[in-house]
Amino acid sequence: MAHEDFKKRIRDDWRDSLNAILARARSLGERAVLAFDLDSTLLDNRHRQARILREYGEAQAVASLAACGPEHWTSGWDMRDAMRACGLEEAQVQAHFPEARRFWGERFFTSEYCEVDEAIDGAAAFTHAVVATGARLVYVTGRHEGMREGSVACMRRHGMAVPDDARVLLLMKPTLREDDDAFKREAHARLGRLGTVVAAFDNEPTHANDYRVRFPEATVIHLATDHSGRPVTLLDGIISVPHFTLVS
């Protein structure tokens, strides 16, 4: 099944939606809550992906993989597509994939590697614009607690609003083993107890849909960056945006 091209959902007036969210947050002040995912929402993890595949290529003496860059991760999170983009023939992709996947699994979900992520355009300024409204900003991520140090270091490096356990919170899975979908649904209940959820931002259609159902009065923003590839259709009323830069 072909994946939906979510970029086609982006309307010319998408910035108006972001400005409207800030205006509503400003009107509610401390009662307002805005929730943000991290990976592929505020942060671009393709640099992390590329670093891991480069290191695998170096370890296995595969020159084309040792030259992997973020530009090779263009069709989602499937490492095999990145390998093909780097120049491997199909037989090589299939031969290397199992070991490369294991190599990836030992590194991707660590503080050391997530610290190299880059910020989505406009993300840092937008987090500060949210904080300036008086609202509470809550990062809700499928990353686990073992990645907290690297995640915060990455936020700080890019000038994003960093967690302070007061107005800016970072909700993470206790361990890597927890299911992302289940964790996020539990986190949604906690968000509702913090105040009025004005908006929620996520790149993953499943999670955006969950927000839409749980908080029908909130504006749900879908980042049309990349996602896990599950064939999920976004619910009506969800707004897709390419990034957070408010000035064209």
Residue 2 pLDDT grade (very low, low, confident, very high; cuts 50, 70, 90)? very low
Cα separation, 191 vs 36, whole angstroms: 11
Residue 2 vs residue 102, higher pLDDT = 102
Interval 50-100: pLDDT, tens: 999 999 999 999 999 999 999 999 867 789 999 999 999 999 999 999 999
Within 87-179, residue ranges assigned H as helices are 90-105, 111-114, 123-132, 148-157
Greatest Cα pair distance, the chain, in angstroms, is: 58
Interval 128-156: pLDDT, tens: 999 999 999 999 999 999 999 999 999 99
Cα separation, 44 vs 237, whole angstroms: 25
Residue 8 vs residue 197, higher pLDDT = 197
Q: CA 52, 56, 58: angle at the middle one, nearest 5?
A: 115
Residue 89 vs residue 230, higher pLDDT = 89
Q: Where are the domains of the chain?
A: 6-45+118-241, 46-113
The tokens describing 186, both together, are: 């539990």
6-45+118-241 — its CATH code? 3.40.50.1000
Q: What is the pLDDT of residue 6?
A: 80
Say whether pLDDT at 216 is over 80: yes
Q: What is the pLDDT of residue 1?
A: 31
User: What mean pLDDT comes out for the span 3-9?
Assistant: 75
Cα separation, 42 vs 122, whole angstroms: 9
Ordered DSSP codes for 186-233: HHHHHHHHHSEEEEEEES-HHHHHHHHHH-TTSEEEEE-S-------P
CA distances for 216 relative to 24, 51, 83, 93, 185, angstroms: 15, 39, 41, 44, 15
Cα separation, 189 vs 150, whole angstroms: 26
Closest CA to 194 of 139, 142, 136: 136
Residue 4 pLDDT grade (very low, low, confident, very high; cuts 50, 70, 90)? low
Residue 229 vs residue 105, higher pLDDT = 105
- Does pTM top 0.85 for this prediction? yes
Cα separation, 172 vs 194, whole angstroms: 16
Interval 180-198: pLDDT, tens: 889 988 999 999 999 999 9
Cα separation, 165 vs 218, whole angstroms: 23
Quote the radius of gyration of the chain (alpha carbons, Å). 18
Cα separation, 53 vs 103, whole angstroms: 9
Q: What is the pLDDT of residue 3?
A: 53
